[in-house]
């Protein structure tokens, strides 16, 4: 018997083309996301406590993702009717309406995305993919089943990716609250001696290879 391959798309790879069933009807990923940033996240199973806290946390931040032009899509290897019943339970019990689609994946789709834990049966792990408007994978987060995600970090990561693309800069740890340079952003290192000389007085620098500036300057 051929062994199943556990593969996860790498950073910069095109997001795998998927035709899927969701709580919002059929979708093509990433085709239906073209021109938008998107976050696709998997969860182990419907009607489980940690996953329920995560889905509510994502929904509570839907306005922040909307401002970033970023769409949310959930996914697990559960059937659509299970997703629908779970979403109804969340609305009735926790008074939170889940407005983003949830993919009803099968094992083939989950394996293609590297979302099936090889030692945990058919449960999908807590994977997060951030895709850009061109459908490229820009960030991957991978959590064990036992630990819920921090959605504020996912929001921050999307903001940082967009900032890095738009301003051609790098973003420090913990931005916008970095311990060394606060809310400043990092200017990419110079590539020749002339560029080093041109930096004098233009940016705040600890050394020629570590310069930073205020956003927008």
Q: What is the mean pLDDT of residues 157-165?
A: 97
- Known active-site residue 70: no
At residue 110, the pLDDT reads 72
SS3 199: coil
Taking Cα atoms as reference points, which of 125, 129, 100 lies closest to residue 41? Answer: 129
Give the number of other Cβ atoms within 10 Å of residue 60's Cβ. 11
Calpha distance 187→168 (Å, rounded): 8
What is the distance of C-alpha 55 from the center of its chain? 14
Angstrom distances, CA of residue 132 to CA of 37, 41, 128, 138, 215: 4, 15, 13, 7, 22
Q: CB within 8 A of 23, min separation 6: which ones?
A: 80, 83, 84, 87, 101, 102, 104
DSSP state of 25: S
- The better pLDDT of the pair 21, 114 is held by 21
- Lowest mean pLDDT of 61-70, 83-92, 155-164, 185-194, name the range: 185-194
Pick the catalytic residue from 51, 70, 205, 211.
Answer: 51
pLDDT in the model for residue 106: 77
Instruction: Please list the residue range(s) of the chain that carry CATH number 3.40.30.10.
Output: 18-149
42-100 per-position pLDDT tens digit: 888 899 999 999 999 999 999 999 999 999 999 988 899 999 999 999 999 999 999 99
* Between 170 and 106, the higher pLDDT residue: 170
- The architecture that CATH gives domain 168-217 is 2-Layer Sandwich (3.30)
Number of H helices, E strands in the chain: 6, 10
Ranges for all domains in the chain classified under CATH 3.30.1020.10? 168-217
Closest CA to 184 of 213, 217, 216, 164: 213
Q: Could you report the per-residue pLDDT of 90-125, keeping only the tens digit for each?
A: 999 999 999 999 999 877 777 777 766 555 555 667
d(CA 113, CA 165): 25
Find out if CATH 3.40.30.10 is the number for domain 18-149: yes
Mean pLDDT lowest among 2-16, 29-43, 148-162, 179-193: 2-16
């Amino acid at each position: 018997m051929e062994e199943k391959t556990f593969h996860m798309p790498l950073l910069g790879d095109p997001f795998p083309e998927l035709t899927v069933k969701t709580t919002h009807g059929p979708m093509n990923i990433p085709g239906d996301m073209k021109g938008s940033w998107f976050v696709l996240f998997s969860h182990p199973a419907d009607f489980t406590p940690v996953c329920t806290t995560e889905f509510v946390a994502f929904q509570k931040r839907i306005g922040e993702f909307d401002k970033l032009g970023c769409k949310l899509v959930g996914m697990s290897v559960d059937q659509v009717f299970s997703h629908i019943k779970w979403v109804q339970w969340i609305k009735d019990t926790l008074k939170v309406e889940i407005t983003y689609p949830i993919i009803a994946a099968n094992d083939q789709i989950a394996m293609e995305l590297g979302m099936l834990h090889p030692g945990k049966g058919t449960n999908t792990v807590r994977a997060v993919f951030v895709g850009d408007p061109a459908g490229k994978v820009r960030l991957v987060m991978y959590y064990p089943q036992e630990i819920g995600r921090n959605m504020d970090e996912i929001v921050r990561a999307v903001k940082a990716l967009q900032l890095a693309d738009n301003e051609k800069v790098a973003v420090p740890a913990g931005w916008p609250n970095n311990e060394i340079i606060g809310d400043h952003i990092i200017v990419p290192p110079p590539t020749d001696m002339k560029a080093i000389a041109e930096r004098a007085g233009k940016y705040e620098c600890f050394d020629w290879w570590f310069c930073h500036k205020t956003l927008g300057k």
